[in-house]
């Protein structure tokens, strides 16, 4: 599941609005790697802060609309995996934007994206398994 999470080419399959990822400076499972996530014409420069395979991924991302740090952990639970995602925003614009994305489970909300990721991971596991 960690490998799917860090597959930047597939990010647009589950992160709402992502159109492409460019300027990848190195392996995404290595701290210090930088890349740019595009939402249409808006870009979000990002940097990997921590990558502890297969349990933890932390990155800093940001533009004027949404900026902060995202920490994701993967923990075995029963026959599956529990994903915990923590988002720490920077600044009042990011706090407001994040609050809007945090409400509900519609596609494009944080919960909606996690739901899409879970469905994608379940399909991958069934196919490989």
CATH class belonging to 2-128:
alpha beta
Domain ranges across the chain = 2-128
Distance CA 5, CA 103 (A): 22
Tell me the per-residue pLDDT of 70-100, one tens digit each, with 9 for 90 and over: 999 999 999 888 999 999 999 999 999 988 8
> pLDDT tens for residues 4-31?
888 999 999 989 899 999 999 999 999 9
pLDDT at residue 19, rounded to an integer: 95
Report whether 56 contacts 67 (CB < 8 A).
no
pLDDT per residue as tens digits for the range 35-78: 999 999 999 999 999 999 999 999 999 999 999 999 999 999 99
pTM (global) more than 0.85: yes
């Amino acid at each position: 599941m960690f490998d799917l999470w860090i597959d930047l080419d597939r990010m647009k399959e589950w992160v709402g609005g992502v159109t492409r990822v460019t300027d990848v400076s190195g392996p995404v499972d290595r701290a210090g790697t930088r890349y740019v996530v595009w939402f249409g014409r808006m870009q979000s420069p990002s940097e990997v802060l921590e990558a502890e395979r297969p349990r933890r991924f932390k990155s800093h991302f940001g533009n004027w609309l949404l900026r902060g740090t995202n920490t994701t952990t993967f923990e075995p639970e029963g026959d599956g995996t529990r994903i915990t995602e923590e988002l720490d925003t920077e600044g009042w614009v990011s706090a407001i934007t994040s609050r809007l994305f945090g409400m509900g489970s519609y596609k494009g909300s944080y919960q909606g994206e996690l739901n899409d990721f879970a469905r994608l991971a379940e399909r991958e596991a069934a196919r490989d398994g």
